[in-house]
Chains A and B, each alone.
Chain A
């Protein structure tokens, strides 16, 4: 069974440029998460989807970040414009549901560097 797929793996951009990350969750997983992870820190939740509905986006900086999950499968996270402080690893995870036994499985992440 294929795992969570993310692309690109690495991205280097200049500040004020836009950037987009793509995620394909494990087949059949209804819940999708976008996390941000800084070096030496744990993941920080940006947004959680239940199918195509964003049910928890309280930590998403909505002035510059946006996300969508069309048809409840693939998802895209966008930053526009990027700032120096956005340099981090962006992780996508999926789970069958959001219950206690629904383990989150992570993709390899996209390492973003903003110059």
Chain B
């Protein structure tokens, strides 16, 4: 079957760095997406990886290892506004996104 695993909740301190891990199993693979979702709001696109390696975009970076079925989202210089849920989603061979349950990130001052 198809499955996405990510931690339910993480806590970090303002100004620090946090890494949110995601493992996936899909029928075929067409890339890995990360979305941010603030409470009561819609998911917003953060990053897309299809090749192995690290993609950096400002304070956010995303890494992919296709052979390990593994990705992580790295957030640097954490700000209070980064408190949100982070959703990992893998695209399968039918171009359908398989979503994880999300990781709730709590930032403390």
Q: In the assembly, what is the distance between CA of A98 and CA of B99, in Å? A: 16
- Give how many A residues have a beta carbon under 8 Å from the other chain's beta carbons: 21
Q: Name the one of B8, B42, B97, B102 contacting A45, with C-beta atoms under 8 angstroms.
A: B97
Interface contact A40-B101, CB-CB below 8 Å = yes
Measured CB to CB, the closest approach of chain B to A4, in angstroms, equals: 8
Interface contact B30-A100, CB-CB below 8 Å = yes
Q: In the assembly, what is the distance between CA of A94 and CA of B94, in Å? A: 17
- Give how many B residues have a beta carbon under 8 Å from the other chain's beta carbons: 24
List B6-52 residues whose CB lies under 8 Å from chain A: 8, 30-31, 33, 41-45, 48, 50
A17 contacts partner chain B, Cβ-Cβ < 8 Å: no
Q: In the assembly, what is the distance between CA of A41 and CA of B43, in Å? A: 12
Q: Name the one of B4, B33, B95, B102 contacting A99, with C-beta atoms under 8 angstroms.
A: B95
Identify which of B43, B101, B102 gathers the most chain A CB atoms within 10 Å of its CB.
B43
Q: Name the one of A4, A44, A100, A108 contacting B95, with C-beta atoms under 8 angstroms.
A: A100
Residues of A within 8 A of B (CB): 4, 40-45, 48, 56, 91, 98-101, 103-109
A-side contacts of B89, CB under 8 Å: 42
Q: In the assembly, what is the distance between CA of A33 and CA of B89, in Å? A: 15
| Given contacts A42-B102, A109-B42, A100 and B31 within 8 Å (CB-CB) | yes
Q: Name the one of B44, B45, B97, B101 contacting A41, with C-beta atoms under 8 angstroms.
A: B101
Q: Name the one of B30, B42, B50 contacting A106, with C-beta atoms under 8 angstroms.
A: B42
Interface contact B48-A40, CB-CB below 8 Å = no
Interface contact A108-B42, CB-CB below 8 Å = yes
CB<8 Å pairs between A and B, sample of 17? A4-B42, A40-B101, A40-B102, A42-B87, A42-B99, A42-B101, A42-B102, A43-B99, A48-B96, A100-B30, A100-B31, A100-B48, A103-B48, A104-B45, A105-B45, A106-B42, A108-B41
